[in-house]
Amino acid sequence: MAQKLKVSVCMITYGHEKYIREAIEGVLMQECDFEVELIVANDCSPDRTDKVIQEIIKNHPKGSWIKYFKHESNIGIMPNFLFALKQCQGKYVAMCEGDDYWITSDKLQKQVNILENNKDVGLVYTNVKLFMQKGGYFVDSPERYVQKQSDVIPQMLKSKFVEFATTVFRKSILFKAIGILKKELENKVIGDTRIILEVINYSELYYLNDITTVYRIVDGSASHPINLDKFIFAHMDTYNCRKNFVIRNNLNKSWLSDAICNTNRGLVNKAFVAKSYTDVYKLMKNLLIVDTLQYCTWEIFKRKIDIIILLKLVLSFTGVGIIRQKIR
């Protein structure tokens, strides 16, 4: 007798008291013809996240889907994520962090059907709706489709078009990628882009043009930090994960051109609104001058680094931006 298909949903959470119910219930509302396990790993949240999860397990009709783990001390985002992945027993693994949520009941069924019928596909992703938590409003996302498989990696290096909370992975390919990346993932913020790049290097990518997920943008979160040092760490890690991938796989280094320019633009824009020379220095010392000269094409450089960015660069060094901030 054939073993029944099982799908795992990997959900990490920390301080998500306000959001975790929506995240969990978005999974539990799935209507599937296969078994689902929801792995929830709570990284010692200081708020009522634990109580909310326990209440759902106790009272929800599908509470038995949930396999809940609570760490006694905080171990960090990436160790918690890797821990949660180890608990996943399914043939396929879906991702949804504790502050995002699914909005369609057939999301998993549709994505798993695609994976079952397309053995070369290692990852199925969908369209997404963005929710700006600070402003309390939704933003529709443009269609995230790349027509040619040969364009998938260059486009992903240019900008992330796959939202992690929409994804379902073939576990065998996912775990192969994790094995390659294990050392690099330690103490890093950007895990999703690293994993997606590695998976699409070994398998095909499939886009389901349904809006299945709400991705919540929360100021102060790991991916959208307010603290300057954390911003710099995350901003540079966003670039370095792409650079490491290109070098490790001996790919065309000019594919980094957009990422280099985007990183430099982000640093200059942040420096222009900095409140002290110390902050300007912290930002400017990370400018990718060597990589710009080595890898960036002139065509992309002149399109991305326009006169406005160059003016902001000069004004930041002269302190005009700081004076403007103090006058405000």
Decide if pLDDT at 185 tops 90.
no
Instruction: Give pLDDT, residue 322.
Output: 59
CA 177 from centre of chain: 15
| Lookup: tokens for 99 | 């502050």
| Lookup: tokens for 72 | 């006694």
Cβ–Cβ under 8 Å, residues 166 and 114: no
- Among the ranges given (19-28, 84-93, 179-188), the one the predictor scored with the smallest mean pLDDT: 179-188
In tens, the pLDDT along 155-167 reads 999 988 999 999 9
Instruction: Give pLDDT, residue 1.
Output: 41
Sign of the torsion angle spanned by Cα atoms 232, 235, 237, 239: negative
Residues 6+ apart with CB under 8 A from 147: none
- Which string of DSSP letters, residue by residue, matches 116-167? HH-TTEEEEEEEEEEEETTTTEEEEPPP---S-GGGHHHHHHHS--S-GGG-
Residue with tokens 């396999």: 67
Cβ–Cβ under 8 Å, residues 225 and 213: no
The fold of 6-217 is: Spore Coat Polysaccharide Biosynthesis Protein SpsA; Chain A (3.90.550)
Q: Where are the domains of the chain?
A: 6-217, 252-327
pTM: 0.91
- Which string of DSSP letters, residue by residue, matches 270-290? HHHT-SSHHHHHHHHTT--HH
